[in-house]
Structure formats: C-alpha cells, structure tokens
C-alpha cells in the first residue's frame, strides 16, 4: 500500500506536475496578477476617501508606504530565491500577498490600509524578482528571451489591467473594495497551488544570509553617465507616482468624471501604452530614445495640466496616451543605458541603485504633494507637481541631447577628422581626463577612442 501513497511514490508525484508549457503560462499570468494588484488600489482611494473622509497626505502616505516597502524588499530579499530555491520564496511571498489583499479589502480605516500596502510592497518586491527568475527559467526551449519579454510587459501591463479592472468594479459593483481584494486574495491562493505543482529550477545553496545585505554602488568611472540618467528616471517615476495616487481624485474634481473609472482608464493608458512603447523601442539606440521619451513625457504632462484647467476629460485621456509613450520609452532606455555601463561583476549593484532612484522618486515627492494638497488644494498642487515633472524631464532631455550630439560627432570622425573638434567641444571633463579609457557606450569615454574603435562604434550605431 505504501507504494501508492502520494508521499512515498515519486512516480505518483510526477503525475501531478504541470507540463512546461502550462507552467510557463501559469507563472506569466501570476506575474500579471501581482502587478495588477499593485495598480488596483489607485482607483479605489477615492471610494475610501468618500467613506472615511481622511486628509490627502494619508492617501499619499499609503501609496508611498508601498513604494518604500517594495524598494526595501528588492534591495534585501530580491536575490533570496537564488539561494533558497524559487518555490519556497514564491510560496512565502504569495501567502504574504494574499494576507495583504484581505487586510486592504476589509480595512476599517486608513491606518489598516497603510499597513496592508506596506505588506503588499514587501511581498511584491520579493515576487517581482522571484517571478522574473522563474519565468525566465521556464521559458520555452529555443526562445530564451521570451521570459524576459514577459517580465518586462507584466511590470507595466499588469498595472494597467489592475487599474482598469478596479475602476470598472468601482463603477458597477455596490461594494467595490472588498470585491476587488477578495478576488485578488483568491488569485494568489491559486498561485500557491500552481507553485506546488511546479518543478523547482534553482537548488538550495549556501549564502542566503549574506545575500540580504543591500548592495547599491556605481563604479567611479561611470559616475558622469549615471548622473545623467537620474533626471530621466526621476521624471518617469514622479509621473507614475502621481497617476497612481492623486490623479483619480483630481479628475473627479476638475473634469466632473462620473466615477473612479475615469482615473482607472488614465492609469491603464499610462501603464499599457508605456508597456507597449517600451517593447517597441527596445532595439532603438537608447540615448536617442531617452531624449525622445523625455520630450514626450514633458509634452504629455503639459497637455494634462492644460486639460485639467479647462476640465476636459477627453484631452486628459489624450494626455495620458502621450505621457504613456514617454513613460515607457524613457524608462526602457534608462534601464538599457544602465545595463550598458555595468561590468558583469557590478550589474546587481548598479541596478540596485537604479531601483533606489525609481522608488524614491515615486514615493518621496508624492508625500510632499499630499501635504501640500491639504494646504493649497489638489488643483494648485497638481500645477506645482506638473511643473516639477516638466523641469526634471527637460533636464533629462537636455543631457541626452548633448550625448546624442557627442555620439554623432564620434561617428562622423571616421570620415571627417575635423569632427574631432566638435567632439572635444561637447565632451564632459571626465572624458577629457581619461585619455586611454576602454570603449563603452557612454559619454564618459567616447571622446578618447582611436580611429579603429570609432569605426566599430559607427557600424554598431547603424545596426538595429
């Protein structure tokens, strides 16, 4: 009889393992659900505020608690699944995520909402890195990049799904908050079952405690290039923070929108268009896309401010599309530029610094905006915040315009030696001080390559 028990017969257990294709599909959908849960609370904040009447700074604190908790999780437990295995970390994080959903769904006041968002941030930080690794591990044979593509799309596309679905529920369901979060909690319970039926891909190994130590650093030779990314990243994530927290309420107030569904549509457009534009521009030169993304971002923000002033919901939606184009394009290019400057041994540390800037830009300014909104009102705060985004995006566009001209000068030097004068004119001081720097695709070292390496860079620029 022992041979037929589920605990003692390996063949019995194997019968209940999902196929590789079903596992990949299930994990991909679970990834989308995790990020959908991140976007779902935003259209529901106005419903909570109508019931409880809390100040705006508490609303922004709830959003920032999520952002800061997720940052802490990314910097500490982000690589834990490499040491403990994918399944134990995924099951633990999904359990925490389900508990956070129930806490948000049945919270009696904003204090419990803030606690729930904090738990959700910790769980989402662990889930994002673990699912990225697991989906990549389970990618179909012969198509290794599919996993990375799914992870990239789920990050923004999932938030679009969550915001749109929660906004629709708020429009047509009498008790939207418990409904949304109960469904999400059940989804993550199903995710635990899926994980139990999935084969492990990362065996346990020593070093788990050491991996919890945060490591975020930029090698000194890349300081100039990394600093030029900061305004691009900051403008992108300042915009995301505003859309996910204050914007739905401002649209209700200024445009006379009938419900929170309008805010959900705008969040969905920002995230959905951003996800698509990031994928479309993935093979384009990152310096050029950082420039164009920053310009689209500031243009969309300017149109949004004007639309809110005249109370036009249609133009607000148009502005969300344009802003989404800039959001996805600029964000994708910033991550690609960061990856290009990272030596193999420093990839994790550089991306830890990138994520730190992302979530600090997402959380800190919006808390200040919430405090300001309670003093001068949502409308005036929106104008101040929008102008700040425009200034930061303009700085990013200016810096990458300078980089673009420098790259053009370097590429032209092969056939037109006189272009070296222009090249020297636009080169940063750090580049002039490093006469024999190796060739990397950053402004710090381009001014000092020799004739042969310049020809190589020129041919790389022309390739897709």
pLDDT at 445 over 70: no
Top-confidence residue, 157 or 387: 387
Is pLDDT of 460 > 80? no
Question: Which region among 34-48, 159-173, 302-316, 335-349 has the lowest average model confidence (pLDDT)?
Answer: 335-349
Dihedral (CA of 29, 31, 37, 42) sign? negative
Confidence of residue 251 (pLDDT cuts 50, 70, 90): confident
Residue 315 is predicted with a pLDDT of 94
Residue 115 in any domain: the answer is yes
- Find, among 426, 423, 430, the residue nearest to 450 by Cα: 423
- At 330-345, the pLDDT tens digits run 988 888 888 777 666 6
299 and 421: one domain? Answer: yes
Task: Using a pLDDT cut of 70, give the percent of the chain over it.
Answer: 79
Gap between the Cα atoms of 262 and 254, Å rounded: 12
| 151 & 259 share domain | no
Where does the pLDDT of residue 100 fall: very low under 50, low under 70, confident under 90, or very high at 90 and above?
A: very high
Domain boundary among 204, 229, 254: 204
Domain range for 88: 17-204
140/194 same-domain check: yes
CB 254 within 8 A of CB 379: yes
Mean pLDDT, the chain, whole residue set: 81
Say if 8 falls within a structural domain.
no
Q: Which residues of 353-391 are buried (b: 16+ CB within 10 A; e: fewer)?
A: bbbbbbbbbbbebbbbbbebbeeeebeebbeebbebbbe
Task: From 204, 232, 265, give the residue that closes a domain.
Answer: 204
The answer to whether residues 255 and 140 belong to one domain is no
Residues 42, 191 within the same domain: yes
Determine the distance from the C-alpha atom of residue 391 to the mean position of all C-alpha atoms in its chain, rounded to a whole number.
21
Q: Indicate whether 141 and 260 sit together in one domain.
A: no
Does residue 79 sit within a domain?
yes
Do the Cβ atoms of 366 and 245 come closer than 8 Å? yes
Would residue 213 count as lying in a domain? no
In total, how many domains does the chain have? 2
Crossing angle, helix 41-52 and helix 223-245, to 10 degrees?
50
Q: Is residue 209 part of a domain?
A: no
In this prediction, residue 111 carries a pLDDT of 94
Distance CA 156, CA 209 (A): 31
In a shared domain, residues 192 and 252: no
User: Are 156 and 272 within 8 A, CB to CB?
Assistant: yes
64 and 156 fall within a common domain: yes
Same domain, 260 and 130: no
**Mean per-residue pLDDT, 381-396:** 94
- Shared domain for 448 and 400, answered yes or no, is yes
Containing H/E element for 120?
Answer: helix 110-137
Looking at per-residue pLDDT, the higher value among 2 and 73 belongs to 73
What is the reported pLDDT for 411? 52
Considering the domain architecture, whether residues 111 and 150 belong to the same structural domain is answered as yes
Q: Indicate whether 211 belongs to any domain.
A: no
> Is pLDDT of 437 > 80?
no
Position 212 in a domain = no
Two structure tokens written together for 269:
């457009």
User: Of all residues in the chain, what percent are helix, strand and coil, respectively (each to 5)?
Assistant: 80, 0, 20
The answer on 435 and 336 residing in a single domain is: yes
In a domain, residue 5? The reply is no
Work out the average pLDDT over 255-274.
84
Domain end call among 143, 170, 204: 204
**What's the rounded Cα separation, in Å, for the pair 85 and 417?**
55
Task: For residue 65, give the CATH number of its domain.
Answer: 1.20.1250.20
pLDDT, tens digit (0-9, with 9 covering 90-100), for 7-37:
444 444 455 677 878 888 999 999 999 999 9
* Coil, strand or helix at 258: coil
Tokens of 32: 């989308």
- pLDDT band, very low/low/confident/very high, at 175 (cuts 50, 70, 90): very high
């Amino acid at each position: 009889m022992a041979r037929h028990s589920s605990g003692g017969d390996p063949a019995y257990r194997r019968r209940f393992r999902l196929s590789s294709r079903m596992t990949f599909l299930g994990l991909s959908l679970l990834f989308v659900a995790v990020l959908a849960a991140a976007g779902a609370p935003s259209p529901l904040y106005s419903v909570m505020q109508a019931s409880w009447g809390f100040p705006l700074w508490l609303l922004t604190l709830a959003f920032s608690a999520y952002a800061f908790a997720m940052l802490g999780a990314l910097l500490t437990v982000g690589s834990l699944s490499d040491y403990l295995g994918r399944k134990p970390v995924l099951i633990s994080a999904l359990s925490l995520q389900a508990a956070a959903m129930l806490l948000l769904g049945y919270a009696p006041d904003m204090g419990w909402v803030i606690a729930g968002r904090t738990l959700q941030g910790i769980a989402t930080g662990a889930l994002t890195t673990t699912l990225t690794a697991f989906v990549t591990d389970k990618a179909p044979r012969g198509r290794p990049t599919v996993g990375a593509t799914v992870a990239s799309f789920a990050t923004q596309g999932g938030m679009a799904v969550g915001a749109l679905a929660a906004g629709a529920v708020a429009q047509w369901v009498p008790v939207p908050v418990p409904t949304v979060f109960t469904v999400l909690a059940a989804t993550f319970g199903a995710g635990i079952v899926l994980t139990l039926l999935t084969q492990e891909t990362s065996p346990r190994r020593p070093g788990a405690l050491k991996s919890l130590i945060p490591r975020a650093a930029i090698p000194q030779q890349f300081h100039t290039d990394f600093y030029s990314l900061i305004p691009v990243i900051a403008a992108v994530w300042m915009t995301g923070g505003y859309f996910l927290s204050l914007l739905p309420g401002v649209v209700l107030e200024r445009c006379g929108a009938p419900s929170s569904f309008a805010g959900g549509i705008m969040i969905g457009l920002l995230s959905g268009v951003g996800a698509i534009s990031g994928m479309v521009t993935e093979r384009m030169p990152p310096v050029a896309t950082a420039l164009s993304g920053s310009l689209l971002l500031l243009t969309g923000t300017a149109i949004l401010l004007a639309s809110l002033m005249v109370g036009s919901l249609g133009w607000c939606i148009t502005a969300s599309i344009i802003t989404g184009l800039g959001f996805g394009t600029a964000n994708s290019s910033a991550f690609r530029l960061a990856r290009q400057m990272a030596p193999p041994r420093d990839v994790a540390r550089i991306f830890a610094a990138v994520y730190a800037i992302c979530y600090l830009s997402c959380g800190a300014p919006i808390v200040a905006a919430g405090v300001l909104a309670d003093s001068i009102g949502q409308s005036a705060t929106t104008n101040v915040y929008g102008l700040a985004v425009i200034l930061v995006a303009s700085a990013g566009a200016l810096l990458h315009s300078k980089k673009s001209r420098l790259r053009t000068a370097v590429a032209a030097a092969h056939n037109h030696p006189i272009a070296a004068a222009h090249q020297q004119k636009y080169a940063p001081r750090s580049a002039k001080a490093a006469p024999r720097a190796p060739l990397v695709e950053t402004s710090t070292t381009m001014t000092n390559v020799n004739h042969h390496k310049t020809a190589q860079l020129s041919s790389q620029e022309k390739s897709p």
